[in-house]
Amino acid sequence: QQPVQSPQAVILREGEDAVINCSSSKALYSVHWYRQKHGEAPVFLMILLKGGEQKGHDKISASFNEKKQQSSLYLTASQLSYSGTYFCGTESSGGSNYKLTFGKGTLLTVNP
């Protein structure tokens, strides 16, 4: 089952902040965040693991609430280069742990 992302789309002016949310109905082992520019492949931003470990981009911050199965991606002082579609992907705890399931994405547009 796909995680649910919100908002579906957001428009910012350069320098503004944004938060993108991701929630799942399943207990999670990890949450991944990727950014995709139009016509390109998704690019890794960050992984948040159960237990608190994080791996990824120095300039990107995110949180992972294990009890609520929710994650948020924080984009501060946005730049034009932040524009793109952001996907969260989730890996569930227990059972088959090998499936990374993505949400439908959040389209972020940063204008000058």
Q: Residue numbers of the site for other proteins (CB under 8 A)?
A: 2, 29-30, 32, 34, 40-44, 47, 49, 55-56, 87, 89, 91, 96-105
Task: Compute the residue count for the chain.
Answer: 112
Token readout for 63 is 């949180």
Report in angstroms how near the CB of residue 13 gets to other proteins at its nearest: 26
**Cβ closest to other proteins, residue 84 vs residue 105:** 105
Report in angstroms how near the CB of residue 33 gets to other proteins at its nearest: 11
Query: Quick one: how many helices (H) and strands (E) in the chain?
Result: 0, 11
Other residues' Cβ atoms within 10 Å of the Cβ of residue 18: 18
**Cβ closest to other proteins, residue 95 vs residue 112:** 95
Look at residue 81 and give its three-state secondary structure. helix
